[in-house]
Amino acid sequence: MASDPIKPLLDQALALLRENRPQDALKILDQIGEPGIRIPDQLSYRGLANAKLGNQAEAERLLRAAVDLAPTECRHRFTLSIQLRETGNLAEAKEQARTARKIDPKFPGINELYASLGLDPASEPKPTLRDRLFAPPLENPAYGQFHAFPSLEHSAKQWTITGWVLVALSFLPLLVFRFHLPIHMPAGGEAKGLPILGGMAINSDPLSAFMIFLLVTVAILSALWMVTDMLDRRARVLWIIPFIPFCCLCAMPGVGQGLYMGLGRK
């Protein structure tokens, strides 16, 4: 993902390309300067502009450079596949299209690209459950973290903060219960709640009931957050294993999620 000062220039260049104004798009891209050589979108847009201007060899070189910088981003392989198709290199165009679809089977236009290349998605072998669970995570591009979900890519900071907030909230009920245990033997004359093991009862006072509700809610949200984040970053699913015992046996989902956030996301 491009840094904030560069992103508006990239958006402007893309808008000009869509208006079929490649020369104006190149002028905008020139404003990015030397750091732009490490930004895949800048290289990809330059490639598109050169293709529109008829410089097919330079267009292919730039599009390949974008793929080399961001090998796990579908859109760059998708664009390169189209360029290779237009220049008659159908064998590699098919290879790039297959790789793009493997990264994101629902990428807009991927099925149309497949059809134009004579490929049939139904004829390709589907990944096995073992492949999905234990395949190594995709390599991050050189310029930043890979994201499978664009919405999380554009709100990565807020998403991470949400994860740490869930970790913090998971410890709040435990802190409260340190001084206010919800499970105890009822005193004389005290109304009994649910009988447990020889007369022990849970007194459903409002604070205890709210803390138990909070702990269960945070555990569910933490599990959803972790699964979504692992899918987004293509992290190893094995990181869910520490979460389960801490959550189910120790009532401490924050420990399992904290381990993943501190170690599994690197």
CATH value at residue 20: 1.25.40.10
Tell me, yes or no, whether 254 and 170 share the same domain: yes
146 in helix, strand or coil?
Answer: coil
Tokens of 11: 């958006």
Phi, psi of 51 (to 5 degrees): -65, -40
- Report pLDDT for 174: 77
- Look over the chain and give the mean of its residue pLDDT values, rounded to a whole number: 78
Where in the sequence is the domain holding 106, given as residue range(s)? 7-129
DSSP designation for 70: -
Task: Give the C-alpha distances (Å, rounded to integers) separating 240 from 10, 78, 95, 102, 210.
Answer: 37, 32, 33, 24, 27
Task: Give the C-alpha distances (Å, rounded to integers) separating 115 from 112, 126, 237.
Answer: 5, 18, 33
Characterize the bridge pairing of strands 194-196 and 183-184.
unpaired
* Domain closes at, from 129, 162, 177: 129
Tell me, yes or no, whether 104 and 211 share the same domain: no
In a domain, 166, yes or no: yes
Tell me, yes or no, whether 125 and 12 share the same domain: yes
Number of domains in the chain: 2
- Report pLDDT for 36: 62
In a domain, 104, yes or no: yes
Question: pTM to 2 decimals?
Answer: 0.53
Tell me, yes or no, whether 120 and 160 share the same domain: no
- Report pLDDT for 201: 45
- Report pLDDT for 83: 93
- Give the other-Cβ count within 10 Å of 254's Cβ: 25
In a domain, 138, yes or no: no
Tell me, yes or no, whether 198 and 249 share the same domain: yes
> Crossing angle, helix 40-52 and helix 56-69, to 10 degrees?
160
Which of 38, 34, 37, 41 has its CA nearest to residue 9? 41
Tell me, yes or no, whether 83 and 173 share the same domain: no
Residues of the chain with pLDDT under 70: 1-4, 34-37, 125-148, 150, 153-154, 178-206, 208, 234-237, 249-250, 266
Q: Are 253 and 243 within 8 A, CB to CB?
A: yes
- Report pLDDT for 6: 80
